[in-house]
Amino acid sequence: MQQMLGLTWNHPRGTDSLREAARLARLAGKIDIHWDAQPLEGFEAHPIKDLASRYDLIVMDHPHLGDARQSDCLRPLSPLFGEDLGAWSEATVGASFASYSDKDGQWALPLDAATQVMIYGRAVDAPPCTIGALFDLAAKKRVIPCLAGPHAALMFMALNAGLGKACDTGDSADHLVDHETGAEALEIMARLSVGMHANEWNINPIAMHQAVAEGTVDLCPWVYGYAPYGRPGPRQVRFADVVKLPAGYGSTLGGTGLAITIRADVTPALIDHIRFLMSDEAQLDLIPAFSGQPSRRLAWEDDRVNAASGGFYRETRATTEAAWVRPRWPGFTPFQGEMSAILRAGLLERASAPQILGNIEAAFETARSLA
């Protein structure tokens, strides 16, 4: 039986369904896949070239695609899956499938769909639908944004998209941000973060869901959603679309894709296993049952899947369908981290918008010149 080594991220959403599918395949004598896991921070930032040298299968974030293509460490999927790709593309929620493609084809498959959504706890009767209502709630309840790691930059980019001038990250971009829009985004971030405690600047999305479940935070307005936290019970987290801004639901697409590295021995058994992971059976049954977050639109509309997650999928569907896709040029991932550090420092120091935006543009110019 063929043995393979895969790498995912260290959370039940990232591990449990993959390991269960691997267990079933091993029991059936088809293929033996062992799944290692890395911390969320490694998933968000670890160089993909290094990972691809050690693993046959990698669960990746779509902004890593530029670095992966530059290092030529992934196998193109069109020769392996052919017409299946078109069917999967049509069946996937939002831009989750397209985020792993470029002009040369498809490089990963969307196992998991996610974007920034609103999460709230039992102290909030109903989620705010406008930015004004959000500010009003923040004056009465514990409302904080998620700004740890890359998430300050991810929120900033989401706000720019929702305000009508998405960050210009194209190949010919000579600046990243429309400065009037960027200043408005910074004002929103400043108002929401002004009362944050020192330890709250380092709360990642998983810890933020736990804080809302425990009641130490009442609402987080932009954070990557984790459907398993919506399971009915005394610590249930509730979900909603983000507030509507002038251009609609501003959110930055997340989720994960499954890629095959060039070191992998691609056999019919491996192809069949990946087809199973993308099938209706896995997406409707196995993945949601084992803490996963399926990418198939069919699962997002399913009554049973929604009931098990407190309505997560229906309550956040509009935001997910509208989510903005980050660029995939080489070096974007480290730039994203640098931009987050600039934003956190600027917000903590109450720096002016021109100063913060100037620092971001300087970092962007350096990153693009290296790319």
Q: For 22-66, how does the pLDDT look when each residue is reduced to its tens digit (9 = 90+)?
A: 999 999 999 999 999 988 776 666 788 889 999 999 999 999 999
Beta bridge partners of 224: 116
Contact 295, 92 (CB under 8 A): yes
HSE at residue 53, side-chain half, CA atoms within 13 A, is 5
Looking at residue 170, its pLDDT comes to 67
Looking at residue 46, its pLDDT comes to 75
- Cα-Cα end-to-end distance for the chain: 42
Give the mean model confidence (pLDDT) for residues 183-212: 96
Distance CA 357, CA 206 (A): 29
Looking at residue 348, its pLDDT comes to 96
* Burial class (CB within 10 angstroms; exposed 0-12, middle 13-18, buried 19+) of 232: exposed
- Phi and psi angles of residue 188, each rounded to the nearest 5 degrees, phi first: -65, -45
Contact 291, 16 (CB under 8 A): yes
- Phi and psi angles of residue 255, each rounded to the nearest 5 degrees, phi first: 85, 180
Structure tokens at 178: 């429309």
The mean of the pLDDT values for the chain is 95
Among residues 126, 113, 115, 114, which one has the least CA distance to residue 238?
126
Contact 175, 219 (CB under 8 A): no
Looking at residue 172, its pLDDT comes to 63
Give the mean model confidence (pLDDT) for residues 286-314: 96
Q: Per-residue confidence at 175, pLDDT binned at 50, 70, 90?
A: confident
Residue 60: C-alpha distances to residues 107, 165, 249, 371 (Å): 10, 27, 25, 20
Beta bridge partners of 36: 7
Q: Is 121 helix (H, G, I), strand (E, B) or coil?
A: coil
- Does residue 260 have a pLDDT over 80? yes
Among residues 49, 36, 32, which one has the least CA distance to residue 8?
36
Q: Per-residue confidence at 165, pLDDT binned at 50, 70, 90?
A: very high
274-297 burial, b if ≥16 CB within 10 A, otherwise e? Answer: bebbbeeebbbbbbbebbbbbbbb
Give the mean model confidence (pLDDT) for residues 14-22: 97
Is the Cα torsion angle 13, 15, 18, 23 positive or negative in sign? negative
* Burial class (CB within 10 angstroms; exposed 0-12, middle 13-18, buried 19+) of 91: middle
- Does residue 173 have a pLDDT over 80? no
